[in-house]
Structure 1
């Protein structure tokens, strides 16, 4: 019971005919229906942690989400990559890449992207969008973006709503992120510079060090059952958090 915490159930915002649901993609495409959700909101997935001071300006600038507009390779081999290709098919249906690049060239070729923006230059004259980079971090959104996508792509999203479990034919939240970017509703920002994803199976020591030294503002600690010395690794991570956050938050008191 805390004034800053609002517990939301699936029943509160997902149409009843699609419940129960075990598909995170379906849970996410209806986020704009959450009661009292702000126009500007930041979506934290399940394994993100704030490890340093964060100002609201980190996520929004003059009301627009800060994001990186940079292409990436997509082999389409994994289920997730297949879903990303589904997203891009919808994007190419509703946006003309030539027009977007002409209007927003400064956003797509922002020097802060560095080497991560290399494909933007290589594909400058290619007529279609390809998959955008999807850094695994906290994602700023506009609720109106979700409403716009649903208005334009309601048929496809409604058809997907029957997928109680993940499917190769799903769309993902990256659809809304990409739509936001193609609509010019973003401010260029290299989100990789203050965020890091650590697969604990191979980078647990680096993760523990990054948390303790507060190297990044946001970290993603991606765990799984195959981590060696799992119990000790978790104890070390817990100790690193206790070192930087010795006092309980108001949510815990």
Structure 2
């Protein structure tokens, strides 16, 4: 296996210049603008410590930002690449406050390796993880199962992705060609979803996990070559829209083309949408390091300050020492 890069998107929702631009453009354009997406849990340093301690094999870390960085970040760390949006996203759609836009142009970062893993800033590595958790035999490790999307969720945009995917892939041919991936025992109980949705002639959706996602840079390029006009039109807005084409299309493209290694991604990973009912379980998962990867998704109507304190105390217990990425 060759070089593997990590990519992480970050924004400080309290940064004054960012706030001014956000407010100015939010008056002009509709879109998803929930403040929960931008509030700071003050634990990004633990993301870097987790990578240094538990994934030391990583090649480069690409830190994607609108221009500001944490004041503790060591910009001279040897394998840290700080990338501004303006370094790779067209100027006419900047500033952007949409992760969909930021992610869909990642292939434009010249230094980025063919094999990379996309992280959100709430995806943490809390125990030793090997390269083959993300890539095996040069293919991204992923789980493949069908699902059905609906239009009730105002943030839903995957139907746009599926519509484009079906223009380029025949479902039945993909199933036949990659039979042992679609019907692998690694898909576990999700196999039932795939079996139930077999009668539909087209892809109607995929089961989506919310975990670090491995990608082939070449797949991004292929998708843009085939559907660049549609993609650029859909993500020209500064805020997330239901009509956005997203990085999920690239993931689905990898699945439909068989460019993945079937893996039970839930075996070593866990997702929490933090609330009062699961807060203690999330804290204990970190402290006991019972999983390798933990996702801590923010949720409205929680005791934010108390939750942040408990989560960060658990991180400090397992990762007390500064990493080379900290001043």
TM-score band by shorter chain is over 0.9
Cα 1:20–1:214 change in 2 (3 A) is same
Q: Counterpart of 1:207 in 2: which secondary structure?
A: helix
Indicate which of 150, 153, 178 corresponds to 1:78. Answer: 153
Deviations 1:93-145 (A, max 9, x none): 11000100010010001112111221111222321102111111100000000
Matches of 2:320 and 2:280, distance apart in 1: 21
Once the two structures are superposed, the pairs formed by residues 83-102 of structure 1 within 5 Å of their partners are 83-102=157-176
Matches of 1:174 and 1:183, distance apart in 2: 14
Matches of 2:204 and 2:292, distance apart in 1: 29
| Structure 1 residue 185: Cα displacement | 0.6
| Structure 1 residue 225: Cα displacement | 4.5
Cα 1:11–1:109 change in 2 (3 A) is same
Unpaired stretches in structure 1, ≥5 consecutive residues: none
Q: Counterpart of 2:221 in 1: which secondary structure?
A: helix
Deviations 1:211-253 (A, max 9, x none): 111111111111245213x323222211211221122212125
Matches of 2:265 and 2:288, distance apart in 1: 20
Q: Please tell me the root mean square deviation across aligned C-alpha atoms, in Å.
A: 1.3
- Residue in structure 2 matched with residue 110 of structure 1 by the alignment: 184
- Residue in structure 2 matched with residue 6 of structure 1 by the alignment: 81
Once the two structures are superposed, the pairs formed by residues 96-245 of structure 1 within 5 Å of their partners are 96-201=170-275, 202-228=277-303, 230-245=304-319
Matches of 2:207 and 2:163, distance apart in 1: 16
Matches of 1:166 and 1:234, distance apart in 2: 26
Runs of 4+ that moved beyond 6 A = none
| Structure 1 residue 184: Cα displacement | 1.0
**Structure-2-length-normalised TM-score:** 0.74
Deviations 1:19-50 (A, max 9, x none): 12122111111011113000000000121100
1:57 correspondence with 2:96:
no
Q: Counterpart of 2:309 in 1: which secondary structure?
A: helix
The question of whether the paired residues in 2 share the 8 Å contact of 1:132 and 1:178 is answered with yes
- Residue in structure 1 matched with residue 54 of structure 2 by the alignment: none
Matches of 2:199 and 2:205, distance apart in 1: 16
